[in-house]
Amino acid sequence: MFQTMRLVVVSGPTREWIDPVRYISNASSGRTGWELARAGLSRFASVLLISGPGEEQFRALHGAETRRVETTADMAEATAAAIGDDCLLIMAAAPADFRPSNPASSKIKKTQTDMLRLDLAPTTDILRSLIPRASGLQNLIRVGFAAETDNLLEYAAAKMKAKDLDFICANEVFRDQQGFGDRVNTIFLIDRAGNSKTIGPLKKSELAPALLDQIESAMPQLLQRNNS
């Protein structure tokens, strides 16, 4: 079913610079996205991995095209340029939601001030900016992630609706050592109708093919819905 489709996976954190030596980022390693891209190699016509600056080992993948990005704006631009018709987009990235509105061009010295206040401006919500009905694309299937510490299913459902996603993969972070960077995880895969399927706990390398299996089995209905 995936054989004629392209897979675009976006992974890892982004960096938003405060001054030339400091940035805002998060603990995403990029492993989940990398595992999904790897699991897609034997299933899709082509695979593109767009990666932010997570762990270096998860930024290259033999057999896939790769694109390295740094800021959320770079990631948004690379993702918009990569998607098209007959494409599965999986946003496994953890882009920074805010960026310093006036990054300093020289290193900020601690002797300059007693109190440092950072003004932050929102970055682009990448998934929200790529809603297919607005872009006119055919057969673009979009899957998001919701990594939460509380109210997992409630927050995930709200994100799915706000971003008009075909699926959202909800997972808890910072609990039982699962989530960011770790090897074992459980995902609750939620579809538009609100049905939820539990995948795991499994190693991320096993979770990725299991997740693609579930999405693949729903593909005929998804394509039919998106084309009607």
Helices 204-227 and 31-40 meet at what angle, rounded to 10?
70
Extended beta strands in 36-125, E state: 46-51, 65-68, 87-91, 98-100, 120-122
Closest CA to 144 of 94, 69, 209, 97: 94
**Does 144 help bind ligand CTP (rule: CB under 6 A)?**
yes
26 is annotated as an active-site residue: yes
**Does 127 help bind ligand CTP (rule: CB under 6 A)?**
yes
**Does 147 help bind ligand CTP (rule: CB under 6 A)?**
yes
128/197 with CB nearer ligand CTP:
128
Q: How many residues bind ligand CTP (CB under 6 A)?
A: 16
Binding segment for ligand CTP (CB under 6 A), chosen from 27-35, 44-52, 89-97, 183-191, is 89-97
Identify whether the C-beta of residue 84 lies closer than 8 Å to the C-beta of residue 6: yes
Measured CA distances, 151 to 155, 158, 169, 198, 219 (Å): 6, 11, 14, 16, 28
**Does 123 help bind ligand CTP (rule: CB under 6 A)?**
yes
Q: How far is the CB of 72 from ligand CTP (least distance, A)?
A: 5
39/127 with CB nearer ligand CTP:
127
User: Residues 18, 78, 146, 212: which binds ligand CTP (CB under 6 A)?
Assistant: 146
**Does 72 help bind ligand CTP (rule: CB under 6 A)?**
yes
How far apart CA 28 and CA 220 sit, in angstroms, is 32
Residues that bind ligand CTP (CB under 6 A): 72, 91, 93-95, 97, 123-127, 144-147, 159
> Catalytic residue positions?
26
